[in-house]
Chain A
Amino acid sequence: MPAYGRIAAAAFRQYSTYRLATAAGVFTNSVFGLIRASILFAAIGGAGGELAGYTALQAATYVWLGQALLAPIEAFGTREISQRVHQGDIAIDLLRPTSFLGLHYAQKLGRAGFLMLGRGLPPLLIGALITGLALPENPWSYPLGLLSLLLAITVAFLADMMVNLAAFWLVETRGLTVVYTATMNLLSGFLIPIVWFPDWLLSIARATPFPSMLQTPVDTLSGRVGPLEALPLVAVQLVWVALLAVAAWAMLRAGVRSVEVQGG
């Protein structure tokens, strides 16, 4: 479908015009990366050079990759669609000759593409210069890592879409967004690697789609988990894509039935 390709390209271009915002994002992202790397280095140094399978270099790679993926997966949540539901603009989206989820997914991919290149790569390069990065030994880690990244963006998109679609039934979704992003930041393995969690928390995290959004692509891309061991993790991502796609679609259908847009 060329239409979706053009939508994605338009979203890419739209975001590439905000140059100052991009520079600001890169700067802030890098400062946070430095702070996070410092904390993990101190922890690993205090534990004698290695902490639950992470050396200092691996921890640095984990931090910088995490900072790089933060923008493309939009870890702080989006509120645009919920606002469109509240303002009634959703009716326009539903009238378009493209599927609602397809339209927004294409936009998300275009946006994520720019955010990855514009906001993700520069902090990664800065990190490589300041702390160094552990590169994967097996070349297969790169293609598998990129696939895992695409799936992670998709899982994050679908889950975020479901939070937004809750606006069909809730008057105010800000609280829900805050609860969702706080949970995601912890359980996705963004703040600390999930293998550092105590067992009970690790089991909870593994039962949710959150590790598929960050920990899996980071582990796969960095080669900390070799390509062969990463395959089952990528399969888990695929399962979550399928499950969440069905759930988001069902939510949209139910929501469209209940929605009542005033005016016209």
Chain B
Amino acid sequence: MAEQLDPRDRPVSTARMVLALYGSRLRSQASFRTSFLADLLGQVLIVGTEFLELWVILTQAGTLGGMTLPQVAVVYGLGALAFGIADMFFGEIDSLSTQIRSGRLETLLIRPAPLLLQISSLDLSLRRLGRIAVGLGIYVTALGIAGFSATPATALLAVLAPLAGALVFGALFTMAGAMQFWLVDGREFANAFTYGGNYVATTPGAVFALPLRAFFTFVVPATLVAYAPTLALLGLPGPALVPAWAGWLGLPAAAAAWALAFLLWRAGIRRYTGAGG
């Protein structure tokens, strides 16, 4: 019996490692309750003010990009939900430049776990549940008011769309992180695509002039996250470049974006030479 290996010395499976990493982060954040509540409230407030912006515009103008308030609310809620999920897992990846500059990335690189998993779990922020909760609330409520009629196909899309959108934003965040291996000081460039993408995704795509709409559909697939699925869900006709059937393109777009993100991330890691010693 004494010969038997201590169970703690056995190699850990990836699944258990993921659970252990994320679990430890969750427990540590739950221990600072007041700060956590203020953070959570802050997130709710951000989403609230963003939506208030659209609401004020719509009470003044009546329609925005051919959509009424409940329809715009579906777009906004869906986009905020998708972005919120991605932001929770990948949102702090742009702190990577700080770690590159201070040489702390080495300590992560020598650990026997994938770097992306470590960074994602390291910065998992539960406060972002605030954005997710409000986004989900607006999405579901607005779908009800906007006259969503569920068929098996549209019900499937209603569930798939936020997840596909979260994958798209997750890939954008990862690409933004990977870019920092080249542009340490230029991390703000990426904000135009991540946060800018969120801004576009939560807005009816028809408001954008053609070049901008094309860019945020074919290069950064932001209009495919919420606007196109909303058109498909509510049976609305789409403007030029974004037909309603494009609402189903979220998953393929996410797959393409992730393929690119992995390539970029791997190239970035290989390029990294370290700054500390």
Contacts and interface: CB of A to CB of B under 8 A. Distances in A.
Interface of A: 18, 20-21, 23-25, 27-28, 31-32, 34-35, 38-44, 46-47, 51-52, 171-172, 174-179, 182-183, 185-186, 191-192, 196-198, 201
A65 B212 CA distance: 21
B124 to A, nearest CB: 16
B108 interface: no
B37 interface: yes
A172 B29 CA distance: 12
Given A24-B188, A24-B189, A27-B192, 5 more contacts: A24-B185, A38-B212, A42-B206, A46-B64, A175-B41
Interface in B218-272: none
23 contacts: A20-B183, A24-B189, A25-B188, A28-B191, A31-B192, A35-B199, A39-B207, A40-B57, A41-B207, A42-B207, A46-B61, A46-B62, A52-B60, A171-B34, A172-B32, A175-B40, A177-B42, A178-B46, A182-B49, A186-B52, A191-B53, A196-B60, A201-B52
A163 B49 CA distance: 20
Q: Which 3 A-B pairs have the closest CB atoms?
A: A175-B38, A178-B42, A42-B207
Nearest to B48: A182
Could you say which of A18, A23, A35, A183 has the most chain B C-beta atoms within 10 Å of its C-beta?
Answer: A35
Contact of B53 (A47, A183, A186): A186
B196 interface: yes
Contacts, number: 122
B117 interface: no
A51 B61 contact: yes
- Of B50, B64, B187, B192, chain A has the most CB atoms within 10 Å of the CB of B192
B183 A24 contact: yes
Interface of B: 32, 34-43, 45-46, 48-50, 52-53, 56-57, 59-65, 127, 183, 185-189, 191-192, 196, 199-200, 203-204, 206-209, 212
Contacts of B191: 28
A174 B128 CA distance: 13
B75 to A, nearest CB: 12
A178 B48 CA distance: 13
Given A20-B183, A178-B43, A182-B49, A46 B188 contact: no
Given A20-B185, A47-B62, A39 B203 contact: yes
Given A32-B196, A186-B53, A192-B57, A39 B42 contact: no
B32 A196 contact: no
B41 A46 contact: no
Nearest to B42: A178
Contacts of A34: 212
Given A38-B208, A43-B64, A198-B56, A28 B196 contact: yes
B42 A179 contact: yes
Given A32-B199, A43-B64, A196-B56, A175 B39 contact: yes
